[in-house]
Amino acid sequence: MSIARDEVAHLARLSRLALADEELDHLAGQLDVIISSVARVQEVAVTGVPPTSHAVPLENVYREDEEAPCLTAEQALAGAPASEQQRFRVPRILAED
């Protein structure tokens, strides 16, 4: 199956891309190669092979959640350059209107 230059131009219009004539010709050849490659992959005989999303089985690698003591507000703010009302104080970056 060969993709025509007009089809590439149509796809470019749908994608709101402004392409020059040389780009359309160049992309038509590239898209033709891509479509041919996908067609070859689809020809592979895969009877009896279940569809999968991954080549190897996935396993949960996370550990179980465990409760642990956390810092108090004072401990968390102890190393902060500035704090106010138990919060980190940072320089203002937006002006108020």
DSSP labels, 25-93? HHHHHHHHHHHHHHHHHHTS--TTPPP-SSSS-----PPPP-------HHHHHTT-S-EETTEE-----
Residue 49 is assigned to a structural domain of this protein: no
Residue 20 is assigned to a structural domain of this protein: yes
Residue 53 is assigned to a structural domain of this protein: no
Residue 14 is assigned to a structural domain of this protein: yes
Percent with pLDDT over 70 in the chain: 98
Residue 73 is assigned to a structural domain of this protein: no
Residue 63 is assigned to a structural domain of this protein: no
Give me the number of domains the chain comprises. Answer: 1
CA distance 81 to 92: 15
SS3 6: helix
CA distance 27 to 16: 15
What is the model's pLDDT at position 3? Answer: 85
What is the domain extent for residue 34? 5-42
Give 77-89 pLDDT, tens digit per residue. 999 999 999 999 9
What is the model's pLDDT at position 97? Answer: 66
Judge whether 89 and 80 are in contact, CB under 8 Å.
yes
Give 29-57 pLDDT, tens digit per residue. 999 999 999 888 888 877 887 778 888 88
At position 59, the amino acid (one-letter code) is E
Residue 10 is assigned to a structural domain of this protein: yes
Give the CATH number for residue 37. Answer: 1.10.20
Residue 17 is assigned to a structural domain of this protein: yes
